[in-house]
């Protein structure tokens, strides 16, 4: 069992469902994004997904897309991000940080050296939506050597044979996209969530994290008993854009019931 999976399963003993919250590094400024991350960790969020911005975040809806574009105006660097994550991981040892971005920024940094540097910064895993399993051999090997987990994504359109392959390769947790489309509001065409998650469960015992369109306490409650982690991305950003950090704190506290 990986360290990340052990952490999740240990925390699940005391909580029906864990929270993963998403913040774009550098939006609206680097300092403000770090302050928001600290607010979230202060509320007891178990997993923090930190997105390093990219100009074409193909899996993300308008809220995260706009945040990425504004963040890039601040010219963030991945090296500085890793330094900032090292400080967060030291200050919040009871939570875990996952670094999310698209392949291009990670490739430019160096896919084979990034896992070691990230591990030294206290990062527990990577989410790279546009890196397919079949092309990730060197990256997976480097992650394994560094004890950092590459987190793979499943969608309702993932064929059963491919789902089985991804589940067999996965460690740490699985990121289960709840519906087709991009992050944000539902398009109304989702496969029944219960059936989808039950299908995944036939192939793996790993913790399941569910995201895309999760925005309120009722949706989090609906995942209880079906998933281990609820992921909030666009909902966090929309709350921040509407009411600042206080609104985000209020939202997260409401999710705790």
pLDDT tens, position by position, 212-223? 989 999 999 999
**Model pLDDT, residue 181:** 43
* Mean pLDDT, residues 112-133: 97
Q: Kindly report, residue by residue over 34-66, the tens digit of the pLDDT.
A: 999 999 999 999 999 999 999 887 777 789 999
Class of domain 3-255: alpha beta
**Average per-residue pLDDT for the chain:** 93
Between 60 and 171, the higher pLDDT residue: 171
Continuous segment of H or E residues that includes residue 123? strand 123-127
User: Catalytic: 205?
Assistant: no
C-alpha to C-alpha distance for 204 and 29, rounded to whole angstroms:
39
Sorted by where each begins, the domain ranges of the chain are 3-255
CA distances from 169 to 54, 73, 89, 120, 142 (A): 26, 37, 27, 24, 14
**Model pLDDT, residue 182:** 42
Q: Kindly report, residue by residue over 221-242, the tens digit of the pLDDT.
A: 999 999 999 999 999 999 999 9
**Model pLDDT, residue 185:** 47
**Given pLDDT bands bounded at 50, 70 and 90, which one contains residue 131?**
very high
For tokens 């394994």, name the residue.
144
* Mean pLDDT, residues 23-43: 98
Out of 39, 46, 60, 84, the active site residue is 60
Does 183 have pLDDT greater than 90? no
Closest CA to 48 of 102, 1, 98, 94: 98
* Mean pLDDT, residues 117-121: 98
Does 209 have pLDDT greater than 90? yes
User: Catalytic: 60?
Assistant: yes
Out of 39, 46, 49, 117, the active site residue is 49
């Amino acid at each position: 069992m990986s360290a990340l999976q052990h952490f999740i399963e240990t925390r699940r003993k005391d909580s029906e469902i864990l929270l993963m919250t998403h913040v774009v590094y550098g939006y609206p400024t680097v300092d403000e994004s770090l302050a928001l991350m600290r607010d979230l960790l202060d509320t007891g969020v178990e997993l923090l997904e930190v997105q390093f911005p990219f100009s074409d975040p193909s899996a993300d809806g308008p809220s995260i897309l706009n945040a990425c574009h504004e963040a890039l105006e601040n010219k963030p660097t991945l090296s500085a991000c890793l330094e900032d994550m090292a400080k967060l991981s030291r200050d919040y040892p009871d939570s875990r940080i996952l670094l999310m971005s698209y392949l291009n920024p990670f490739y430019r940094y160096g896919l084979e050296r990034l896992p070691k540097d990230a591990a030294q910064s206290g990062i527990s895993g990577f989410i790279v939506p546009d890196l397919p399993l079949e092309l990730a051999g060197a990256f997976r090997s480097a992650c394994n050597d560094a004890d950092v987990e590459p987190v793979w994504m499943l969608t309702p359109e993932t064929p059963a044979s491919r789902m089985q392959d991804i589940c067999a390769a996965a460690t740490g947790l699985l990121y289960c996209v709840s519906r087709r489309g991009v992050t944000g509001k539902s398009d109304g065409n989702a496969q029944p969530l219960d059936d989808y998650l039950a299908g995944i469960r036939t192939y793996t015992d790993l913790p399941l994290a569910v995201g895309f369109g999760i925005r309120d306490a009722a949706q989090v409650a609906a995942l209880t008993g079906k998933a281990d982690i609820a992921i909030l991305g666009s909902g966090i950003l929309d709350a921040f854009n509407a009411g600042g950090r206080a609104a985000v704190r209020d939202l997260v506290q409401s999710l705790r019931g």
